[in-house]
Amino acid sequence: MRSGSTTAGAPRRPRPTPRLWVPRIPARVLGIVALVVAVPGLLAAVLWLAPFFRVSEVDYRTTPDRASALAASAPVEKGRPLVEVDTRAVHDAVLANPVFRAADVSRSWPSTLVVEATPRTPVVALQEREAPTFRLVDAEGVAYDSVAEVPDGVLTARADAPEDPGALRTLVAFVGALDPGLLSQVRDLNVDDRGRLTASLSRVEIDWGTAEDSALKAAVVRDLVGRAGVARVDVSVPMEPVTSATRRSSPPTSGAARETSRAGGDASRPSSPSSTSSPTPSPTRS
């Protein structure tokens, strides 16, 4: 053993534990984060609690004749926070009234709720069967209101089944297909229980049929009603229209009667030698 050795048996020094590095966040950044978190809460508190953000006015916007109906359809409590108003619920309440076709509800800060509604526009007034009133029908075939007097420029009509959606569709299809000049001449508008429409157009009776092919029917009617000697036009099958020189007192009672009229009305078919003449001209195929 060497003299003077001091290392033998000497205790080892423990290694230092590494320290975790924690970055220091500047106070300015902490302040910004706190502000970002606090602002929405403060804003919400202001919107809910500040008196100048409470509903002080409800601005109802529609036509003058529907203003009271709109206010009654969507009453809004004044004094409540404007942000708290359920605009979707107000919108749905407006459309629950059938006189309105569309609605829009919005907030006008700081304290006004705007409720705007578009009323339906009538194209036909349907005579009600058990009352001296008329049911207004719009271009979508929706019967939405009863009135004692028909609005200016609106056609009146009768229907054997006024609650039948098919009858309403036929009526609005007829009105939508004819141009204003022809519509102004329409009288005695009627839809039977089979959904078949008849009308008088100036001095000509029109057998329109149902709602199908209305644009084509309108074009055929426009071409035929002005012809000399035409008193009745049947466009229920528009590719095979039938005309007659006489009016009839009542519509055919069956499809068979209508087909017989078509067959007998073929102007190109020669008359039978054994047939007798009749003072009433037969219908002619146009």
Of the two residues 256 and 146, the one the predictor is more confident about is 146
Backbone angles phi, psi at 199, to 5 degrees: -160, 165
Total Cβ atoms within 10 A of residue 196: 20
The answer on pLDDT for 263 being more than 70 is no
Angle at 245 between CA 241 and CA 251, to 5 degrees: 65
Q: What are the tens digits of pLDDT across the range 11-57? A: 666 666 666 555 666 666 555 655 555 556 555 555 555 667 899 99
Q: What is the pLDDT of residue 280?
A: 41
Burial 113-122 (b: 16+ CB within 10 A, else e): bebbbebbeb
Confidence category of residue 131, pLDDT binned at 50, 70, 90: confident
Structure tokens at 108: 């006008």
What domains are there in the chain, each with its CATH number?
53-119 (3.10.20.310), 122-268+280-285 (3.40.50)
Query: Which ranges of the chain does DSSP label H, i.e. alpha helix?
Result: 27-49, 67-73, 87-95, 165-177, 180-183, 214-224, 255-264
Per-residue DSSP letters for 218-284?
Answer: HHHHHHHTTSTT--EEE-SSTTS-EEESS--SS--SSHHHHHHHHHHT-TTSPPPTTPPP-SSPPPE
Structure tokens at 11: 């205790």
* C-beta separation of 130 from 112 below 8 A: no
- The half-sphere exposure of 71 on its side-chain side, counting CA atoms within 13 A, is 9
Which residues, at least 6 apart from 136, have a Cβ–Cβ distance to it below 8 Å? 120, 122, 124, 125, 126, 143, 144, 145, 146, 147, 151, 154
* Length reported for the chain: 286
d(CA 212, CA 200): 19
Across 70-84, 115-129, 223-237, 250-264, least confident range: 250-264
End-to-end CA distance of the chain: 140
Q: What is the pLDDT of residue 226?
A: 87
Q: What are the tens digits of pLDDT across the range 264-276? A: 344 333 333 333 3
* C-beta separation of 57 from 80 below 8 A: no
Distances 279 to 183, 245, 265 between C-alpha atoms, Å? 32, 11, 15
Structure tokens at 284: 């002619």
For residue 179, the SS3 value is: coil
